[in-house]
Amino acid sequence: MNLDELVNSVQEPELRERLSHLVGEWKQDDKDVEALAYLISKWHGNVWFQDTEASNKFHSDFHNFKNAAIDNIGGLTLNERLYWFGLFGAWENANETNQQRLRSKLHANA
């Protein structure tokens, strides 16, 4: 499950919209993947899911995403990083300066 799929897995429209907005802002700013993990953790800790099972499932899905995409980011290629974080479109439409910003965001400088 990549980042966009994680966001779309939230069943409650208002919560999904709020998370989508936060993730969209992260995709545009200069903050890295650790900042994203903190952002999502903070969001999840400050929202109220109507269904406890849905909240627990999101927590589990986020934990799995974090382990695969963030904690193990050093073992991923640039293309894998772009996939995990839903940034292929941003990469393809970016100039060299914005591509460098994305490399930094995804810890892919080298």
Which residues form the domain of 40?
3-105
Reading phi first (left if > 0) and then psi (alpha if -120 to 50, else beta), residue 107 is in left
Q: Is residue 18 part of a domain?
A: yes
CB 45 within 8 A of CB 36: no
What does pTM read for this prediction?
0.94
Note whether residue 78 is domain-resident: yes
Let me know if residue 46 belongs to a domain.
yes
Which class for 9: exposed (0-12), middle (13-18), buried (19 or more C-beta within 10 A)? middle
Per-residue pLDDT reduced to its tens digit, 2-27: 999 999 999 999 999 999 999 999 99
- DSSP secondary structure letter of residue 81: H
- Residue 110 domain-assigned (yes or no): no
**Based on the structure, what is the number of domains in the chain?**
1
User: Average pLDDT over the chain, rounded to whole?
Assistant: 97
Q: DSSP state, 63?
A: H
Residue recorded with tokens 């999840």: 44
Residue 82: inside a domain:
yes
Closest among 68, 51, 50 to 5, alpha carbons compared:
68
- Mean pLDDT in residue range 54-74: 97
pLDDT tens per residue across span 26-48? 999 999 999 999 999 999 999 99
- Residue 50 forms part of a structural domain: yes
CA angle 68–94–31, rounded 5-degree value: 50
